[in-house]
A and B are shown apart, each in its own frame.
Chain A
């Protein structure tokens, strides 16, 4: 079973800052990794799949990179609407797994 570990657990940042979130897999998932954003009281929203492909309608300030076991989600300039919890998810093997999430909060 693949375990995804996200770091850090919480980030306190100001609007306009660059954000880098990490997701590490316990074994290789190739490029079969997705990122989701979840705001309070809302369902998650797909941001990135295939480690680096933005989903439909996702702003260009969101980018993903990595392969194998190390992945990164970057927000180039944090906007007020980006304060949320971010989850990674691997779809290379069963059972599917989500990371525990990284909360991005306003400093």
Chain B
């Protein structure tokens, strides 16, 4: 069974930084691209970033580009998202997602999500 467990969220200050982690299990982590999708309270879904299976290629939404870094540790089966220069509009539930495969970048499994609140 695929399991994705996010951690590292909570309250962060505007202009501050945070690091989210996602521990994956139930599949061969190093074979699949992974990503982050977020959802502001009461709003729809927004792609944040993706990383290929090897960790050598990434893609970011314009809303976080230049402020975020997605990375992975295939030896630990863990995905990361580092965000800086946080803004109020970064407040959202952040979902870790497994990507279907290298040729079809859509999520097929989602974690339960972790809430990030950016507020002073």
Contacts and interface: CB of A to CB of B under 8 A. Distances in A.
Interface of A: 32, 34, 36, 38, 42-46, 49-50, 55, 87, 89, 91, 94-101
Interface residues of B, number: 20
Given A87-B44, A87-B45, A95-B47, A49 B106 contact: yes
A78 B46 CA distance: 27
A47 B45 CA distance: 16
A100 B44 CA distance: 6
B111 interface: yes
Question: For the complex, would chain A's binding face be called helix, strand, loop or mixed by DSSP majority?
Answer: loop
Contacts of A97: 47
Question: For the complex, would chain B's binding face be called helix, strand, loop or mixed by DSSP majority?
Answer: strand
Contact of B111 (A36, A43, A96): A43
B13 interface: no
B27 interface: no
A32 B100 CA distance: 12
A45 B59 CA distance: 23
